[in-house]
Amino acid sequence: MPGPFSSRRGVALYALVCLSLGVALAAVIVMAADAHWGNALLFALPLTLVYAVAAGFSAFYLCRAYPLSGRPPLAIAAVMSAAALVAGLLWQALAQFWNGLSLLTELRWAGIALTPALSALLFGLGVLLYALALALHYLALEFMRATAAEQGEMQSQLAAQEAQLRMLRTQIDPHFLFNSLNSISALTSANPAGAREMTVQLASFYRRSLGMEAHKKVPLGEEMQLIRHFVAIEQVRFGARLQVEEALDEAAAACLVPPMLIQPLVENAVKHGVCKMTEGGTIRIAARRAGSILRISVLNPVDADLPAARPGGIGLDNVRQRLAGAYGHEASIHWARRGASFGVDIAMPAQTSED
């Protein structure tokens, strides 16, 4: 049912207000017509309840038919004024009918002396109550319209955010594939068996990677399995020069992260760190949960004799944008070169469910 009758709570509240108005009207009748309380209540309560229900439905549909933003203000004012006057006249006529019906019972406690002054008072009250119902329904409809618009805007923002995150996510795949194909090409003549093994590992990597496409977030433990596939691909090329150490606690492994969030950091560590060092090096990946915060770090050695590379890059910038899109100001990423090592530190909300 529309308006105030759309829920049980609304019906109960509306009935309570109507009963209160009926009691107030009975008090006015007692004072104005010198009637007994029983007569005044028997006259006022049914009359007020019937009028309140009829006025509630009428005002609701009238407000929907004449929205504030869809009709000229003067036309709305004219229609609403005419409706209020008609409602006042109908209530006055209903009051006379109900009072006359009560007087026919010839019971001492039924009926009141309905004077012209009291009839005029009922007419005025009917007009005012209908105008009040119109105002309340306009407020309710505008609130509902504003809420719907806000929800629509929020859904649009979420859709745009999801599209941006999907675009950033897909940016990683061709970047990684390009580097992997270059590696396979380099191995084709020097180490054909290694090139074949790398191709198989690459297929396994993409099979697992594509399985993550349906998820907005995956457990960090699952992300680490993907990284191990990536490391296996690179170890075909680097052999013992590339080593990886992991330090993940169980609480951190269960936390959710955007898919392919850590892999670009490890790829950067290989490309800009281990790859440029003759003796190779060890990449250290650590993650721990500290209350509501998940902290992840990736540390790799760099050649201290080489000049520092420009800050950022495709991988780091992609991770930064994805964190900002998924968590806003709740997540952060910092990277810095410290002597013969380069470290990336991520702090983000520790979530175990996508809700």
Please say which residue of 123, 152, 181 terminates a domain.
152
Q: Which residues contact 113 (CB under 8 A, 6 or more apart)?
A: 33, 34, 35
Residues 202 and 343 in one domain: yes
Euclidean distance between CA atoms 131 and 335, whole angstroms: 65
Give pLDDT, residue 211: 61
Residues 127 and 269 in one domain: no
Q: Does residue 181 belong to any structural domain of this protein?
A: no
Q: Length of the chain, please? A: 355
Instruction: Please report, in tens digits, the pLDDT of each residue of the chain (355 residues total).
Output: 455 556 677 677 777 888 888 888 888 888 877 778 888 888 888 888 888 888 888 888 888 888 887 778 888 888 889 988 998 899 888 888 888 887 766 666 567 877 888 888 888 888 988 888 888 888 888 888 888 888 877 777 666 666 665 665 555 556 567 767 777 887 787 778 878 887 887 787 777 766 665 557 889 998 898 888 888 888 877 888 999 999 999 999 999 998 888 888 998 898 888 888 888 899 999 999 999 999 999 999 988 776 665 555 677 888 888 888 888 899 999 999 888 899 999 999 999 886 5
Residues 198 and 341 in one domain: yes
Residue 115 is classified by DSSP as -
Residues 88 and 39 in one domain: yes
Residues 116 and 202 in one domain: no
Residues 9 and 140 in one domain: yes
Residues 262 and 339 in one domain: yes
At residue 157, the 3 state secondary structure works out as: helix
Tokens in use for 345? 């530190």
Euclidean distance between CA atoms 233 and 199, whole angstroms: 8
Alpha carbon 323 to its chain's center: 18
- The dihedral region occupied by 29, where left means phi > 0, alpha psi between -120 and 50, and beta the remainder, is alpha
Tokens in use for 264? 């670009």
Beta strands 242-248 and 281-290 are parallel
Residues 217 and 323 in one domain: yes
Give pLDDT, residue 1: 44
Q: How far apart are the first and last CA of the chain?
A: 33
Give pLDDT, residue 342: 92
Give the domain extent around 80. 3-152
Paired residues of 294 in beta bridges: 289, 348
Alpha carbon 280 to its chain's center: 47
Please say which residue of 127, 152, 177 terminates a domain.
152
Angle at 179 between CA 327 and CA 252, to 5 degrees: 35
Predicted model pTM: 0.54
Give pLDDT, residue 348: 95
Give pLDDT, residue 210: 66
Euclidean distance between CA atoms 196 and 60, whole angstroms: 74
Give pLDDT, residue 109: 58
Q: Does residue 79 belong to any structural domain of this protein?
A: yes
Q: Does residue 169 belong to any structural domain of this protein?
A: no
Looking up residue 340, the CATH number of its domain turns out to be 3.30.565.10
Q: Does residue 339 belong to any structural domain of this protein?
A: yes
Residues 219 and 118 in one domain: no
Of 190, 335, 339, 161, which is closest to residue 265 (Cα–Cα)? Answer: 335
Whole-angstrom CA distances from 301 to 10, 183, 342 are: 67, 21, 6
Q: Does residue 185 belong to any structural domain of this protein?
A: no
Please say which residue of 152, 180, 199 terminates a domain.
152
Q: Does residue 243 belong to any structural domain of this protein?
A: yes
Q: Is the distance from CB of 142 to CB of 150 less than 8 angstroms?
A: no
Euclidean distance between CA atoms 351 and 217, whole angstroms: 10
Residues 37 and 146 in one domain: yes
Give pLDDT, residue 230: 84
Q: Does residue 78 belong to any structural domain of this protein?
A: yes
Paired residues of 332 in beta bridges: 347
Total count of domains within the chain: 2
Give pLDDT, residue 170: 59
